[in-house]
Structure formats: C-alpha cells, structure tokens
Amino acid sequence: MRVRSVIAPAALTALLLTGCSSSAEPAATEPSAPSAGTCVDTASGAASESVAVEGSRGDAPTATFETPLDVEKTERTIVSEGDGEETAHGDWAGIEVTLYNAATGEKVQSSSYAGAPMQVMIADDALIPALVRAIECVPAGSRVVSVSPAADAWGEEGSSDGAIGPGDGVVIVADVLSITPEKATGEPQDVDPALPAVTLDKTGAPTVTIPDGEAPADFQLGVLKKGDGITVEDGDSVTVQYQGVNWRTGEVFDQSWGDAPAQFGTGQVIAGFTKALVGQTVGSQVIAVIPPEDGYGAQGSESAGIKGTDTLVFVVDILATSR
C-alpha cells in the first residue's frame, strides 16, 4: 500500500507537499522545527492581523487585505479558537485550506470544503513549513490565518507552479477541523464467529487467528467496531490502519501498523479492499475475507508470498475519508 502525507486535489498537493517545492530547502523558520509530540506556537503579528477573514469554519473563506501585503516573517493569528485537543508536530489532522498571493490578493488554490476534509501529517518533512506553522499548536476546531514569505514555504524560487513568486508572500487560511485518531474509535460489534478471530494490543494493532479448515469461497465482511463518522463513498481517498494476513500461512504479509497510516483512493487497491471500505463509516474497524478473484487474481503476488489460489484476510481501521 502506498503511504502519502496528504490527500488533496493535485494542484493543491503540489503546493503543500515538501517534496513538491521548487527549491530543495525552504528557508529555515525560527524557532526550528519541533520533534514529534511538541509544537511551535507561532506568534501573531501586524501582517497576519491585517487579514480579514469572512465565512464559517468548514466553509470556503473569503480573505481580504491591502495589497501588496509586506510579509517579512511567518505570523499566525487565530480567527476563531476551537475547543478540541491542541495539535502537535507529528499529528495527523483533517483540515481545509485556502492559499492567497500576498502581493496580489489572488486566491491561488483551495481544498474542497465538501464535508470530508483533507488529511495531512503536521511535519516539516511532509508539508511546506509555512503550513505546518499555521496549523500546529492550535486547538482542533480552530480557524487560523497565517502569512509567510515565499522562502518559508517553498524556498528562494517561490512555488513550483509560479503562482507565488520568490518576492511574494503567501496568506494561508486554514480550518483545523479535527485531529485524526491513531486507531478505530467505534463501538465493538458482534460478528460471525466463523470469521477469523481478532485481538488488539494496547496500541490497537491487531493479531489475526485463522480458524481451522478451508478458506471460504466468497467474500466475507464483518464490522468489529462501528464508527459514527461520515460514510466512505466510492472514489474517496481514505486514511486507514490495516493488516493483511494470508489465510494459507497465517502470516502477516503487509501492514501499516508500526509506520504512518496509509492513504489511498478506493480505486487504487484490490477489489476486495474497496468492497470492505465503501459504505462503512469513519471510526469503524472491519475484517474482510477476500478470495483470489477479489484479491491479486490467478497471478498472485510473488513479492508478498501470495499464490494465485490464496485467500487474504484484512483488518482495517477507517480513520478518515476525504473527497
């Protein structure tokens, strides 16, 4: 499975991902980037306070300011403060974001504001530092506005698409809607006892015990925990923790546990994995028994030790969905 640091429209992704910046090294921000679990509380200033932001949190904002806005350093002002847990470096969060060119006032890019926010890891090696400084160290549920020189976001050459030049600043309006949990948070459910047994350690990581006997011929699905979040739709991009076990061997052949959660589109994985996700609610944990035709097919997957006749078992924690 492919692990990504942000799920968003392609043009916005190109502006937000560290690896997509036009310069290899964005300018150093002060203080230096924190370690996981800590955060930099970026101070407000005259430039960020001069930006007027209209609109409700979670809806597309309108930001107005005098142009050209002179941006000498990164500043952040909390427009409306939430009452959730404070974000820290290394957290995953659900956000909506809009970027403006500080010199011209032009809106450059925005997320969808469609009720299923984009998921990002708050880390300087994942996102442009300017966005990290905007969204870390604030309570979930907050709307913030920040200003940064282009160099603090993309390096001395400005954004890769040319929308924000090297001498321009960037204005970021971000809604930090939630901190993404590390495991499924739903209520435990009764499942068919014929399904493989699942036990969880204190981190939420599963251990799957394959029952005696032949694997079932058909796809099977059980809901181990039922979440109360939004429903995953076909075409969504999901954030999950997962473990895959080969029924034949009882061995784990792939998992995200011990690493960052995985992110992918529902159409980017094997058919059985998609069946397990679409129609389920965020916060749920499911177990799927996937026959070969819904898995890797007759060719199997040699690198994973999967034969063309192997049935697979996946336990999946659905942490978030974006669209």
What are 174-188's pLDDT values in tens digits? Answer: 999 999 999 999 999
Which residues neighbour 2 within 8 Å (Cβ) at sequence distance 6 or greater?
262, 263, 264, 268
Distance set, CA 50 to CA 135, 206, 227 (Å): 19, 50, 41
What pTM does this model have? 0.87
Could you tell me if 151 and 204 lie in one domain?
Answer: no
In a domain, 2, yes or no: no
Which residues neighbour 323 within 8 Å (Cβ) at sequence distance 6 or greater?
112, 114, 116, 233, 235, 236, 237
The residue type of 183 is K
Range list of H helices, the chain? 10-16, 46-49, 129-135, 150-153, 271-277
Q: Which domain holds residue 312?
A: 187-322
Q: What is the pLDDT of residues 204-221, one digit of tens each?
A: 999 999 999 999 999 999
More confident residue, 2 or 225: 225
CA distance linking residue 121 with residue 159, whole number of Å: 20
Domain boundary among 179, 199, 232: 179
Q: What is the pLDDT of residues 76-92, one digit of tens each?
A: 999 999 999 999 999 99
Domain boundary among 179, 201, 231: 179
Could you tell me if 62 and 170 lie in one domain?
Answer: yes
Are the C-beta atoms of 153 and 21 separated by less than 8 Å?
Answer: yes
Task: Identify which of 199, 200, 217 has the alpha carbon closest to the alpha carbon of residue 294.
Answer: 217
What CATH number does the domain containing 97 carry?
Answer: 3.10.50.40
In a domain, 3, yes or no: no
Domain boundary among 145, 160, 179: 179
